[in-house]
Structure formats: structure tokens, C-alpha cells
């Protein structure tokens, strides 16, 4: 059983107001006001889940989706950093609009004490925010691995399984500064409450099951679909095979199915699965529902509110092998 980590130990990090670290916040004087925390991600489910899990324990949360644009993503991460460094020098410090190389939410809001970031495409956004304020005013935290030396962040937290595979790119683990290697991913065991928009989407997803559940006791299976990676190769043929297994769940196990497409799911896989569901699964209109998490205009926070509650609702959760953090999250929820 994968358990939630409640951010175990303080970090010996410097601060302008005493002892300031990712896992504990204290000051030299008695202060009741919580720190301002910006959670900056690429808008993906996995990156937002883990960034919010950390950010909500540090203070008042402000979630933002800020990523590099398509042109900047073509460059190595080190060159992206140099462009951000150049851009910050040319930008008015009071300007809340994003520079040309970033897309997403504006930079308005309370001055952040912490910026918690997850997702490789969100790194330039993190660097832009931190460098827009005086040195040491904003504490930067990156969750996971990125192709940028960790010295560019105040703190990096990475799970052991990911560190063992990827840290060799940046040199021996022992000399990587500002890094904490956790035994398991950082998880939040509490249910994220629904807000107005996320509750509407949640109800819309489950609406087709209501009539069938009144007459027959059916459980709900949630299937989370990722995409092709170098470690997890699967194609349209595999998607069709997955739909055939879904058919058995509907006809033999008497289960309703919610299929969640993530930001990693290619358009071709979405279309292949939707066509196969219509052709092969009887009563698919009331037995199988697809939710494309990239559509609908939800913010990154509203997206994970809907996702977390659907996982909590499910009797079983099935995930593609590329979704390592989502697998740990679902295991903890079960």
C-alpha cells in the first residue's frame, strides 16, 4: 500500500526571515499569516496533482498554468533558461503579462513566498517568476526530474524510482545540490473538494449511469489513458485490444466504465478508442462514458478536482503503464 507522505522533514535552507524550507515554515517572530504559494504546472493531471499536494501544505494556494511556447520547447532546457534570463532583464518588473516565450495565465496575484512547480514545460515559467523578484525573496521548489542542473532551484524533490533512472544525466547523485530523494512519490490522501465548475463536469460524466444504477447494482471502473513513451510503447492496435477488454467488463462483470483521456493521450488513440467503443460495446451510451480532460475549459485546479473525485468514486482503477504518478495516486486512494 502506497501511503501519503506528509512532507516529513524540514530543509536546512537559508531565508530572509529565519528558517524556511519546503517541509516546515517558521519565522523568528510570531506570524499568523500563511505564506503565499504559487503552484505552476503545465496543466497536466499528474503534474498538478503532485504540485498541489505540496503547495497546499505550505500556505495559501494560487494555481497557475504557465508553459514555454512551441518555439522555446524545441530548444534544450539550458538554452531555454538563458532566454528567460535575457527576457527578465528586458522586462519591466511590474509587468504582469507573460513575455513572448511563455503562454498561459498572467503573473498577477499576491507576491509568492513559494513557487512549487511540476512539469518540464513549466520550468521556464518558474524561472521567470522567481527572477522577477529580488534574490531570495521567493523560494523555488521543483517536483520531479528536469534536464537542468538542480542548483537553479532552491529545492528539488524527486521519487527514488525516478532518481535512479534519470539522475545519471546530471552526474552522481551524491553531488546534486538542493535535492531530496523520497522513497515514494509525494501524495495527498485527502479528497480534493469539488467547486462549481468541477462539480458540473463530475455530474455530467456520471449522469448516463444514473438510470442503469437505479435498476441494477453496477460498480464503476475508471480507465485512465496516457500515451506512448520510450518505456511504454503502445499503439492504435493496443487501444483496440483495450476496448475489447472493456467490452468484457461491461457484459461479463456488469460494470460501468469511465474512460479518462489525459494530456498525454494522442488524438489518434482517442479517435480509435471512441470508434471501437461505438462498434463493439452494446449499450455503450449508458455503459461507457469518455471524459477528455483537455477539453471543457477547466482550470488545472478544477481538472484535478474532477479527476480526484472520479478516482474516489471508482470501484477499480485501470491505468496505462506510462502514468507512474497517477498509478501511485490511485493506489493510495484505494
Do 36 and 154 lie in a common domain?
Answer: yes
Do 53 and 125 lie in a common domain?
Answer: yes
Is residue 162 within 8 Å of residue 302, measured between CB atoms? no
Do 166 and 206 lie in a common domain?
Answer: no
> What tens digit of pLDDT does each residue of 163-175 get?
887 776 666 555 5
Please indicate, yes or no, if residue 34 is contained in any of the structural domains: yes
Cell of 93: 518588473
Please indicate, yes or no, if residue 161 is contained in any of the structural domains: yes
Do 125 and 208 lie in a common domain?
Answer: no
- The pLDDT value recorded for residue 1 is 40
Do 242 and 175 lie in a common domain?
Answer: no
- The pLDDT value recorded for residue 54 is 96
Final residue in a domain of this structure, among 133, 148, 182? 182
pLDDT mean over 107-114: 93
Do 323 and 232 lie in a common domain?
Answer: yes
Do 42 and 136 lie in a common domain?
Answer: yes
Q: In the Cβ-directed half-sphere of 164, how many Cα atoms lie within 13 Å?
A: 6
Closest CA to 22 of 244, 186, 213, 193: 186
Please indicate, yes or no, if residue 116 is contained in any of the structural domains: yes
Do 151 and 207 lie in a common domain?
Answer: no
Please indicate, yes or no, if residue 4 is contained in any of the structural domains: no
> What tens digit of pLDDT does each residue of 221-278 get?
999 999 988 778 888 899 999 999 999 998 888 889 999 999 999 999 999 999 999 9
Degrees to nearest 5, angle at CA 184 with 49 and 46 = 20
Do 119 and 220 lie in a common domain?
Answer: no
d(CA 263, CA 267): 10
What rounded mean pLDDT belongs to the chain?
85
Helix (H, G, I), strand (E, B), or coil: what is residue 141?
strand
Final residue in a domain of this structure, among 134, 157, 182? 182
d(CA 273, CA 158): 33
Do 26 and 85 lie in a common domain?
Answer: yes
- The pLDDT value recorded for residue 235 is 84
Q: At residue 14, does pLDDT exceed 70?
A: no
Do 178 and 212 lie in a common domain?
Answer: no
Please indicate, yes or no, if residue 231 is contained in any of the structural domains: yes
pLDDT mean over 70-97: 89
- The pLDDT value recorded for residue 90 is 84
Please indicate, yes or no, if residue 14 is contained in any of the structural domains: no
Check which CATH number belongs to the domain holding 130 and give it.
3.40.50
Please indicate, yes or no, if residue 13 is contained in any of the structural domains: no
pTM, full prediction = 0.85
> What tens digit of pLDDT does each residue of 297-331 get?
899 999 999 999 999 999 999 999 999 999 999 99
Do 73 and 178 lie in a common domain?
Answer: yes
d(CA 77, CA 97): 22
Final residue in a domain of this structure, among 134, 160, 182? 182
- The pLDDT value recorded for residue 196 is 95
Please indicate, yes or no, if residue 3 is contained in any of the structural domains: no
Range of the domain at 257: 196-333
Q: How many domains does the chain have?
A: 2
Amino acid at each position: 500500500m502506497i501511503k501519503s507522505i506528509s512532507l516529513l522533514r524540514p530543509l536546512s535552507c537559508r531565508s530572509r526571515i529565519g528558517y524556511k524550507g519546503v517541509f516546515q515554515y517558521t519565522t523568528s517572530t510570531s506570524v499568523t499569516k500563511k505564506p503565499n504559494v504559487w503552484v505552476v504546472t503545465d496543466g497536466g493531471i499528474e503534474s498538478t496533482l503532485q504540485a498541489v499536494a505540496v503547495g497546499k501544505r505550505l500556505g495559501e494556494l494560487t494555481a497557475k498554468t504557465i508553459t514555454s511556447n512551441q518555439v522555446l520547447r524545441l530548444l534544450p532546457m539550458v538554452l531555454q533558461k538563458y532566454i528567460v534570463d535575457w527576457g527578465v532583464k528586458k522586462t519591466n518588473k511590474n509587468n504582469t503579462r507573460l513575455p513572448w516565450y511563455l503562454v498561459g495565465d498572467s503573473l498577477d496575484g499576491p507576491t509568492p513566498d513559494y513557487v512549487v512547480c511540476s512539469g518540464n514545460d513549466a520550468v521556464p515559467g518558474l524561472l521567470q517568476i522567481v527572477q522577477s523578484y529580488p534574490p531570495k525573496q521567493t523560494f523555488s521548489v521543483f517536483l520531479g526530474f528536469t534536464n537542468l542542473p538542480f542548483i537553479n532551484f532552491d529545492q528539488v524533490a524527486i521519487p527514488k524510482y525516478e532518481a535512479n533512472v534519470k539522475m545519471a544525466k546530471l552526474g552522481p547523485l551524491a553531488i546534486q545540490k538542493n535535492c531530496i530523494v523520497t522513497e515514494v512519490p509525494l501524495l495527498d490522501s485527502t479528497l480534493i473538494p469539488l467547486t462549481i465548475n468541477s462539480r458540473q463536469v463530475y455530474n455530467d460524466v456520471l449522469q448516463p449511469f444514473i438510470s442503469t444504477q437505479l435498476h441494477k447494482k453496477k460498480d464503476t471502473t475508471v480507465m485512465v489513458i496516457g500515451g506512448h513513451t520510450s518505456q511504454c510503447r503502445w499503439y492504435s492496435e493496443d487501444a483496440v485490444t483495450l476496448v475489447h477488454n472493456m467490452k468484457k467488463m461491461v457484459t461479463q462483470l456488469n460494470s460501468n466504465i469511465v474512460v479518462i483521456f489525459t494530456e498525454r493521450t494522442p488524438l489518434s488513440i482517442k479517435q480509435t478508442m471512441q470508434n471501437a467503443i461505438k462498434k463493439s460495446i452494446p449499450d455503450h451510451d449508458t455503459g461507457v462514458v469518455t471524459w477528455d480532460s483537455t477539453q471543457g475549459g477547466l482550470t488545472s485546479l478544477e481538472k484535478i478536482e474532477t479527476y480526484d473525485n472520479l478516482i474516489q468514486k471508482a470501484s477499480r482503477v485501470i491505468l496505462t503503464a506510462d502514468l507512474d504518478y497517477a498509478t501511485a495516486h490511485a493506489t493510495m486512494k484505494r
